Amino acid sequence: VTNVTTAMKNAGYAPADWTLVYQPPPLPIPEGNKVQWDFKSNQRGTNGGCALSDASFDWIAKDVYPKLVGAMDDGLKAARTAIGDTNVILFDHARTMEGHRLCEKGAKGFTNYPDKHGRNVPWQDDNGIQTEWVNEINRQLQIFGGNKYQKSSPLHPNYWGQKALADCMAKAVATVYGANGEPGSREVGCSTAANPVDRNGAGRPDMKLGQASALWITAVGQPTITGAAHVGQTLTADTTGVFAPSDPGITLAYEWQSDGTPIAGATAATYATTAADLGKKITVKVTASKPGIAGASATSTAVTVSDMVRTAEPKITGTPKVGEQLTATPGSYTPAADKVTYQWLVNGKPVAGETGKTFTPRAQDAKQTVSVKEVASKAGYIDHGSKSAPVGPVALGDLKVTGAPTISGKAQVGETLTADNGTVQFSQPVDSQHYEWFLDGQLIPGADQATYVVAGTDVGKSISVRIIGFKDGHSAESKDSSTLTGSTPLAGGAVSKASPATAPVVKATNPHGDSTSVHRDTNTPHTPTIKQLRKPKMVDRTADHQHRKLKGKKIRYGTVAEVSLWHVFEFHPSNPKVTWFVKKKGTKKVTQLKNKGLTWEPKKKYIGYKVHAEVTTVDPGYTSETVDTSWHPVVKGKRATVRKPRVRQKANVRQAAEAAAAQKVKPKVGSPLRSSRAVFEPSGKVRYQWYAGKKKIKGATGRVYTPTPAVSGKKLRVQAYVKAGKGYLRAESKSKATAPVRQVKGLG
């Protein structure tokens, strides 16, 4: 091999110009248990041309042949240095002749083949489909002499054997180095196809080529280094097309070098340069390896590391406070940067749009830290980023207030008073305003809007108001120095002075009269009436605190009924009096209940009765008004189905519900079924009844049921139910139908 490689180099051939095909001999004979003909009766010698014992066959196939081929493989690998980058194909011919080896079972040999031309020429028939592809052992030639070429031919490939080897070689070269191939040396095996015939016009058996694997690894290129060669940047080793052939089992190892010296710990595909690399030549050596074969190494060309050097860090000047401007002072670099850009950060996170030299902290930045990141650029150098030291935490801004509001409107029962800003001024525009109304200097709970409706209980007392302003990220320093009481200062609010108090509240006047009072003089105070707008309704308030309509106007046992006063009166009464009444169906006798609230939950004894409620307003400063609801029948309750029953195979009862639901139950006669436990709300004693089709199965009233031949072919369901009673109607729920019941073969 060394001499051949040297000769090709001396003749001017480059490694890529030619391919070395290294072909050890094929295994010519089968193992002893695959040999035809009887040895003891000498049929192998007289009929088959293979007068060897089974032990001799095994010795050749399992001992001599592997050692011979192994020695040849070792010889090829020993010439690896001389071969260099030349492409090599090493054949594994252990199975090439399989099915056509000398005296192999199923193959037609020398002496038992039809004589078509007066001579025994088995290799001329049927493209070698059924013949042996190996020459027989001619004992007469060996003992009594003869043609020397015939004497040396036993166990060598015959005409068809050589054709098979030629087909293997052609396919290997075309596949490995064809249009889709790549450089590199490989080992590949060849075996007979299911029906080898002449398919390519060359008169050769159609052979099957195995999967090629790397014989050894060859460096056919040089790795490249990508990335900017500057301090602090990451370099990457690109090994595309460096080693051949590509093989899933090949691994790559990296060694980064600075001026030819390995860099400690730099053994990954990437390397982040440091200040120590400035001005140094950086290379990367890549070694490809795979267990059992020789590896290869390749080294990249060098890149020289350069960079700008930062001589001063950027800084922030100004007071870190909401609403006050901060300014970035840039750092300095050698050589000087051509351009510097900025990005402001709050708690280390970029602030969208804040890329100028100045930044004013916002309300949401209060109590956070602020820093700025700058990027210095210079032609020929990588951009250099640097971040300032953080300042802060950012203090709250100042919010001050002067002046007092005024009140517009009449201090009279039923009238609306409005708080106007008056002389109130805040040092900055506020985000929101809050109001506090006072009655004779005492805070009115809940009165926190810009308007206040005078109540009947306010008669004879004076009303005042003050305004509290809020701005995110700001704190207030001003306080109301008045003697108002009952107020709890709100955090961050700037509180104005209180408005001048109104005159004492007077009762309302009725200049035009209304439907419930006699017309009086326009200046005569009187007590007005809360007008009724519509009749109150009864609603279901049982679930989720929602008002739901009563179906059929019925109140079911187990629910909660409520009198809805929504838009019943001119405004919602503050303290209505509610009285509930019941009467038995078909009678006129009305009984007053002890229940006083707007809601009522029926007892079981009232099923069959009718119920209604009367509502009377009780508001100071107003005359009372009484309204009543319609009569509503009280009926039995309904149980809700929380979980339906499911039919399962008894063996699968403990499986998860999802798994049970994923496949339809396929029952069969004699195999028990089980119903899952059904749940109703409210709870009660749950009973079960099995159905075949639409008919009940007599006696099948438990959770477990074993199908009988009587229900064969029928779909099964199970019904869970709770009997009527204790104030509730009957509740029931059926499972999904199973597949039809299968009859089991052999039963009966």
What is the per-residue pLDDT across 381-439, written as a single tens digit (0 to 9) for each? 777 788 999 998 998 888 888 899 999 999 998 899 999 988 999 888 888 888 999 99
Q: Report the pLDDT averaged over residues 372-385.
A: 82
CB 16 within 8 A of CB 90: no
Q: From start to end of 537-637, where are the E strands?
A: 537-540, 548-549, 555-556, 561-564, 577-584, 591-592, 599-600, 609-616, 626-628, 632-635
End-to-end CA gap in the chain: 81
- Burial tier of 29 (Cβ tally within 10 Å: 0-12, 13-18, 19+): buried
pLDDT digits (tens, 9 = 90+) for 193-250: 766 666 666 778 889 999 888 999 989 899 999 988 887 789 999 999 899 888 888 9
CB 61 within 8 A of CB 27: yes
Give the CA distances from residue 245 to residues 38, 183, 214, in Å, rounded to whole numbers and listed in that order. 48, 6, 6
3-state DSSP helix/strand/coil % of the chain, to nearest 5: 15, 35, 50
Q: Which range, 81-85, 368-372, 624-628, has the best average confidence (pLDDT)? A: 368-372
Q: What 3 state SS string does 666-686 have?
A: CCECCCCEEECCCEEECCCCC
Mean pLDDT of the 263-270 span: 96
pTM over 0.95: no
Q: Which residues contact 737 (CB under 8 A, 6 or more apart)?
A: 715, 716, 717
Average pLDDT over residues 651-674: 67
Sign of CA dihedral 410, 412, 418, 419: positive
Contact 609, 514 (CB under 8 A): no
Q: Are 685 and 650 in contact (CB under 8 A)?
A: no
Give the 3-state secondary structure of residue 553.
helix
Q: What percent of the chain has pLDDT over 70?
A: 85
Looking at residue 427, its amino acid is S
For residue 649, the one-letter residue type is: Q
C-alpha to C-alpha distances, 736 to 645, 653, 675, 719, nearest whole angstrom: 8, 16, 11, 10
Q: How far is C-alpha 576 from the chain's CA centre?
A: 56
Q: How far apart are CA 488 and CA 311, in angstroms?
A: 55
| Identity at 675, one-letter amino acid code | S
Query: 331-344, pLDDT tens digit by residue?
Result: 888 778 889 999 99
Q: What is the DSSP letter of 144?
A: H
Angle at the Cα of 199 from the Cα atoms of 194 and 205, rounded to 5 degrees: 55
Least confident range from 37-46, 428-437, 540-549: namely: 540-549
* pLDDT score, position 525: 40
Kind and range of the H or E element at 453?
strand 451-453
Quote the pLDDT of residue 740.
95
Residue 306, pLDDT above cutoff 90: no
Nearest to 370 by CA among 317, 310, 428: 317
> Mean pLDDT over residues 351-380, rounded?
90
Mean pLDDT of 248-260: 93
Question: Which three-class secondary structure state does DSSP give residue 151?
Answer: helix
Q: What is the pLDDT, as a whole number, of residue 488?
A: 61
Dihedral, CA of residue 339, residue 340, residue 342 and residue 347, to nearest 10: 150
Residue 147 has pLDDT above 80, yes or no: no
> In 10 A of CB 393, how many CB atoms?
13
Mean of the pLDDT values across residues 427-456?
Answer: 89
Q: What is the pLDDT confidence band of residue 361, given thresholds at 50, 70 and 90?
A: very high
